[in-house]
Amino acid sequence: MAFGDLLEKVGSAGPFQLLCVLLLTAPALLIASHNLVQNFSAASPEHQCRLRAPGPNASWVGNTTAARGGLSLAPSPERCCRLADTHGQHPRTNSSLGRAGETEPCWDGWHYDRSTFSSTIVTEWDLVCDLGPLPALAQTLFMAGVLLGALLFGVFSDRFGRRIILLCSLLLVAVMGTGAALSSNFLTYCAFRLLSGVGLSGFLLNYICLSLEWVPTKSRAQVVTWLSYCSTAGQVVLAGLAYGIRDWRWLQLAISTPFFIFFLCAWWIPESARWLIVNHRPAMALSNLQRVARINGNQLGGDSISLEVRPRGQSMSHFSTNLAYFGLSMDLPAFGLDIFLVQAFFGAIDILAKMACALALSYFGRRAIQASSLILAGVFLLGNIPMLMVRLALVVLGKGCLAASSVCSYLYGGELFPTAVRQTGTGFTTVMARLGGMVAPVVLVAGQQFPFLPLMIFGVAPVISGIAACFLPEMHNVPLLDTIEEVEDSRAEPRQKRSGSGLPHRNRAPAAQQHVAWPIGQRLEQKGPLMLGAQCDTLAPQYSPLSCN
């Protein structure tokens, strides 16, 4: 009997699964806030050089410079230099200043327009002009932290378990996010942002995996889509928080301190029984399954389970999706509209796109949706029409397709890898995704010199990945596999010849070995005919950890 059958026995869609998903929903709401907070905390307002002597011209004058557009606009002279004083020496240079009409850098700092934001990291640390690329560097370092977390926590999660990594990740996000809000300088801020990205990556890897491993096959798409809804709704939450909190430190605290509460609540979530079985911890797996049965009001089902040990292309899609998605999401000023409204509008569009994706996944499968959404996104983004509203409409459609692709990517990635290496494999795809997120700010900075470059890259990459996705195996209504051997056999044999448990017939133990106990004779009290089992060959070659009658 497969693990899915055991889950049905104790209750595969009851109060336990509902509570588990709800507890993971709350932190998911703030994922987008951490990813995109620099749209607001690192906003660069209008600014001009501070004059040396106080006077009526030393304050902000709104009509001295043109309104700032997207990243492709070069800084104007009023922002980065001022007329030189020809009557003396500047203390920083200790040299005579030039002739009349010559300019000099803004040695005395800048005046900022604080009508939209009272404080950002740009205004606090003067990250303008020559230091203008530094906010993009901070975002790239954050994505580097997410990449590093994927490298570390993917392997750690398969080795030490999903639950402990989830708890450590939530605590890390809480502590490092709060540290970023209290930073005294830009370097410290970058360090805390990098480490909060590491923690966020650990949460991203495990909250979907835990959900997938506790729900039945028929509900996987709905659960992952719901969690993705919550992540997307976080964009709207971020817009509301940023509109109400105009100081970057308080905004950073608002999205970080709730993770202390999430950390405490997550202690209720048990370790994945599927992972425990595959990693030879059957007693704890049995205890967790019986706990699930009690919560689901199915005590008899839990009591009937006993234990016997017996012998026996996806990363490319993640890269392109995140490259284009974050590239569009982090360039809100380029649309020339109110950034709070654009942020909320993008979030609403993503929700609608993911709703459509959820319906399509139930009818057309994973591969078709993954490929078509990527190709359509690329086509829309390549249609760079000069008319602002038409261009905005195409970008919105392209971003919606990317949102749909992200839903499919997270679901597909969790299904393609077996339990034994699921988090390691998912960690690798997450690394590729965050490489896309790291490259996106660099592409936007390059767009200052080559305005055509961002949309061209953001359009071509999804098309190439969509074509590559056509060669992935279909996983619609296919039970989760547990071992690498099962994956190999699923490729070797036609899928319709596989048994209902998801194991190829030729891999099952001979009939004479079906009920032979492991020599140590370890066995829990048998309270019924059903035996706790999963198919795995990661013990000694002649043993597999668990079995079922």
CA distance linking residue 83 with residue 534, whole number of Å:
76
Environment class of 152 (CB within 10 Å of its CB; exposed 0-12, middle 13-18, buried 19+): middle
Q: For residue 309, what pLDDT is reported?
A: 40
Mean pLDDT, residues 355-374 taken together: 78
Q: 544 in helix, strand or coil? A: strand
Domain limits, the chain: 3-42+133-469
Mean pLDDT, residues 442-456 taken together: 71
Q: For residue 196, what pLDDT is reported?
A: 93
- What are the beta bridge partners of residue 47? 112
CATH number corresponding to 3-42+133-469: 1.20.1250.20
Is the distance from CB of 165 to CB of 205 less than 8 angstroms? Answer: yes
Q: For residue 257, what pLDDT is reported?
A: 93
Q: Identify which has the larger pLDDT, 283 or 522.
A: 283
Residue in the structure block whose two tokens are 């709704």: 233
Mean pLDDT, residues 380-408 taken together: 75
Residues 6+ apart with CB under 8 A from 219: 12, 13, 17
Q: What percent of the chain has pLDDT over 90?
A: 9
Mean pLDDT, residues 205-219 taken together: 74
Mean pLDDT, residues 461-466 taken together: 80
CA distance linking residue 224 with residue 407, whole number of Å:
7
Of the candidate ranges 13-17, 111-115, 488-492, 501-505, the one whose mean pLDDT is the lowest: 501-505
Query: DSSP characters for 270-319?
Result: PPPHHHHHHTT-HHHHHHHHHHHHHHTT-HHHHHTEEEB-EE--HHHHHH
**pLDDT band at residue 179 under the 50/70/90 scheme:** very high
Give φ, ψ of 37 to 5 degrees: -60, -25
Does residue 56 carry a pLDDT above 50? Answer: no
**pLDDT band at residue 471 under the 50/70/90 scheme:** confident
CA distance linking residue 132 with residue 120, whole number of Å:
13
Compute CA 254 distance to the chain's CA centroid, rounded to the nearest angstrom: 19
- Return the axis-axis angle of helices 134-160 and 186-214, rounded to nearest 10°: 40
Greatest mean pLDDT range, 164-173, 273-282, 478-487, 530-539: 164-173
Does residue 163 carry a pLDDT above 80? Answer: yes
Q: For residue 481, what pLDDT is reported?
A: 63
Q: For residue 101, what pLDDT is reported?
A: 56
Mean of pLDDT over the chain: 70
Q: For residue 510, what pLDDT is reported?
A: 39
The 10s digit of each residue's pLDDT in 289-304 is 777 777 777 654 444 4
- What are the beta bridge partners of residue 532? 307
Does residue 63 carry a pLDDT above 70? Answer: no
Q: For residue 331, what pLDDT is reported?
A: 62
Mean pLDDT, residues 219-229 taken together: 75
Q: For residue 517, what pLDDT is reported?
A: 34
Q: For residue 509, what pLDDT is reported?
A: 40
Q: Report in angstroms the alpha-carbon separations of 187 from 184, 269, 428, 465.
A: 9, 36, 28, 36
CA geometry: angle 402, 407, 413, nearest 5 deg: 115
Q: Identify which has the larger pLDDT, 412 or 71.
A: 412
Residue in the structure block whose two tokens are 């798409």: 221
Q: For residue 60, what pLDDT is reported?
A: 42
Does residue 251 carry a pLDDT above 90? Answer: yes
CA distance linking residue 159 with residue 174, whole number of Å:
24
Q: Identify which has the larger pLDDT, 344 or 3.
A: 344
Of the candidate ranges 258-262, 380-384, 413-417, the one whose mean pLDDT is the lowest: 413-417
Q: What is the 3-state secondary structure (H, E, C) of 397-439?
A: HHHHHHHHHHHHHHHHHHHHCCHHHHHHHHHHHHHHHHHHHHH
Q: 530 in helix, strand or coil? A: strand
Is the distance from CB of 123 to CB of 112 less than 8 angstroms? Answer: yes
Q: Identify which has the larger pLDDT, 74 or 3.
A: 3
Compute CA 531 distance to the chain's CA centroid, rounded to the nearest angstrom: 37
Residue in the structure block whose two tokens are 């994956």: 487
The 10s digit of each residue's pLDDT in 256-275 is 999 999 999 888 888 877 77
The 10s digit of each residue's pLDDT in 69-79 is 333 334 455 66
Residues 6+ apart with CB under 8 A from 511: none
Q: For residue 169, what pLDDT is reported?
A: 92
Is the distance from CB of 280 to CB of 545 less than 8 angstroms? Answer: yes
**pLDDT band at residue 96 under the 50/70/90 scheme:** very low
Mean pLDDT, residues 462-469 taken together: 80
Residues 6+ apart with CB under 8 A from 256: 34, 173, 174, 176, 177, 178, 180, 181, 196
Residue in the structure block whose two tokens are 């596989």: 498
Is the distance from CB of 207 to CB of 23 less than 8 angstroms? Answer: no
Mean pLDDT, residues 502-522 taken together: 37
Q: For residue 522, what pLDDT is reported?
A: 37
